[in-house]
């Protein structure tokens, strides 16, 4: 199924879709997410010592911070790399399950990716802004991986399985990660106001929805004969 021509076509489509979706994600972040992060950094400087000590995944905060242009540049590189990586993954699954006929079908794949990699894990691990106390990174990563795998397989079974038993098992997989106790910090605290936290969550949800739907639609457009 994956011959040389197919791989070349897949990589080309993923490069195009990844670059465009990554740039679109950056634009969405610049409008809502990044300005909100700048506001929260003011409170990060006045956060309690126990919170500051846990920033950066358990490492003490540093005095040096990149300038705005540096942040923007590295953010673009990171988003494009993220887009190309997820586009390759999405395209590979499309190829195994049958190529999408149009960008409309690609949107459904993008929606599935959004649910799998963002929405479902966020139900157990809420989005956090700087100055927020968080659980241990290793514990959060392990739970996130479990949630992604269970959600991915859980969505695929109802969509492609032919028996009701497998469809039911898919529904069980969707619920399974959320029946496990998610990693929690010893003390729930944040130096930033609740309004900023809520605004950050809404902005991030919107930005990621734009990213995944665009990525799926673009792959559906580019990855076809």
Measured in Å, how far apart are the chain's first and last C-alpha atoms? 15
More confident residue, 66 or 120: 120
How far apart are alpha carbons 132 and 83 in whole angstroms? 27
The per-residue pLDDT for 41 is 67
More confident residue, 92 or 189: 92
Distances (CA, A) of 121 to 94, 167, 200: 22, 21, 17
Please tell me the pTM assigned to this model.
Answer: 0.81
How far apart are alpha carbons 218 and 223 in whole angstroms? 8
Res 97 pLDDT > 70: yes
How far apart are alpha carbons 83 and 101 in whole angstroms? 21
More confident residue, 224 or 136: 136
Res 4 pLDDT > 70: yes
Q: What is the mean pLDDT of residues 122-140?
A: 80
Res 134 pLDDT > 90: no
CB 102 within 8 A of CB 221: yes
The per-residue pLDDT for 26 is 94
More confident residue, 138 or 128: 138
191 token code pair: 């130096």
pLDDT band at 192 (very low <50, low <70, confident <90, very high): low
For residue 2, the tally of other CB atoms under 10 A from its CB is: 10
pLDDT band at 23 (very low <50, low <70, confident <90, very high): very high
Q: What are 40-78's pLDDT values in tens digits?
A: 766 665 444 443 344 344 444 445 566 778 888 999 999
Output the CA angle 215-127-61, nearest 5 degrees.
Answer: 110
Q: What are 197-225's pLDDT values in tens digits?
A: 788 888 999 999 999 999 999 999 998 75
- The length of the chain in residues reads 225
Phi-psi region of 141 (alpha: psi -120 to 50; beta: other; left: phi over 0): alpha
Q: For all residues of the chain together, what is the average pLDDT? A: 82
pLDDT band at 187 (very low <50, low <70, confident <90, very high): low
The per-residue pLDDT for 225 is 52
The per-residue pLDDT for 215 is 96
């Amino acid at each position: 199924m994956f011959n040389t021509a197919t791989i070349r076509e897949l990589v080309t489509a993923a490069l195009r879709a990844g670059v465009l979706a990554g740039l679109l994600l950056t634009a969405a972040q610049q409008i809502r997410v990044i300005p909100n992060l700048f506001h929260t950094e003011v409170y990060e400087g006045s956060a309690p010592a126990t919170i500051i000590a846990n920033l950066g995944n358990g490492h003490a905060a540093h005095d040096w911070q990149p300038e705005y242009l540096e942040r923007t540049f590295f953010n673009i590189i990171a988003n494009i790399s993220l887009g190309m990586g997820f586009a390759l993954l999405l395209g590979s699954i499309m190829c195994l399950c049958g190529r999408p006929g149009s960008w409309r079908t690609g949107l459904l794949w993008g929606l599935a990716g959004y649910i799998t990699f963002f929405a479902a894990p966020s139900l157990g691990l809420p989005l956090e802004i700087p100055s927020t106390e968080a659980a241990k990174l290793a514990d959060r990563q392990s739970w996130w991986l479990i949630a992604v795998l269970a959600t991915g397989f859980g969505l695929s079974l109802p969509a492609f399985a032919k028996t009701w038993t497998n469809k039911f098992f898919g529904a069980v997989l969707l619920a399974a990660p959320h029946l496990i106790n998610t990693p929690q910090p010893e003390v729930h605290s944040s130096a930033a106001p609740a309004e900023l936290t809520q605004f950050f969550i809404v902005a991030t949800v919107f930005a990621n929805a734009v990213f995944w739907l665009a990525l799926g639609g673009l792959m559906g457009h580019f990855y076809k004969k």
